[in-house]
Chains A and B, each alone.
Chain A
């Protein structure tokens, strides 16, 4: 079974530029998550999708971050404009949610450096 795919793996941009990350979840997984992981910290949930609907985006900085999951499969996370403090690893995860305790499977992440 293929895992969660993310691209690009690395991205370097200057502040005030925009950037987009892509995630392809495990086939058939209805729930998709985006996390932000700052160096030395645990991942922090940014947004959770159930199919193509948003379940939780309470920690998403909506003035600069946006995410979509068209057709309930792939998802993109965009930052516009980027700030220095957005330098982090952006992780995508998916889960099947056949039962509430179904585990989340994480992708390798995209490491963003904002200069």
Chain B
């Protein structure tokens, strides 16, 4: 079973920041937080991962709380192409990913 909890759906206006929350209250010390997204009819696409520090790459930022029990994925300037299902998952390494149902993010024009 997935060890993360995400809202089933969210909406965001195009050009605004999309903030996707994830709860992982039972995370263990050596587990990373991974985010993937899945655009319709495609395979999941890696976005970002982190252990305890905040991370940023060209796609998004990942904010992990100090107690590591929750995190937020931030898409700074959402576009229509960011409409997808976003999965938050935990893993001791990317080799063992357990996906929940994710958050269906809709970007509105």
Q: Which residues of A line the B interface, CB within 8 A?
A: 4, 31, 40-45, 48, 55-56, 91, 93, 95, 97, 100-109
Query: Which of B18-26, B42-50, B59-67 is found at the contact surface with chain A?
Result: B42-50
Q: Which of A41, A104, A109 contacts B101 (CB 8 A)?
A: A41
Q: Which residues of A contact B41 (CB under 8 A)?
A: 108
Interface of B is mostly: loop
Interface of A is mostly: loop
* Size category of the binding interface on chain B: 20 to 34
Chain A residue with Cβ nearest B92: A100
| Given A40-B101, A95-B94, A101-B49, 14 further pairs, Cβ under 8 A | A4-B43, A31-B95, A42-B2, A43-B99, A48-B95, A93-B43, A97-B95, A100-B94, A101-B94, A103-B46, A103-B49, A106-B44, A107-B43, A109-B42
Chain B residue with Cβ nearest A55: B95
Q: Which residues of B contact A97 (CB under 8 A)?
A: 95
* Residue contact B97 to A45, C-beta cutoff 8 Å: yes
Chain B 79-109 against A: per-residue CB contact (8 Å), 1 yes, 0 no?
Answer: 0000000010000111111111110000000
* Residue contact B45 to A100, C-beta cutoff 8 Å: no
A4 vs B93: C-alpha distance when bound (angstroms)? 20
Chain B residue with Cβ nearest A48: B95
* Residue contact A108 to B42, C-beta cutoff 8 Å: yes
Q: Which residues of B contact A56 (CB under 8 A)?
A: 96
Q: Report B98 CB to chain A, min CB distance, Å.
A: 8
Q: Which of A31, A42, A108 contacts B102 (CB 8 A)?
A: A42
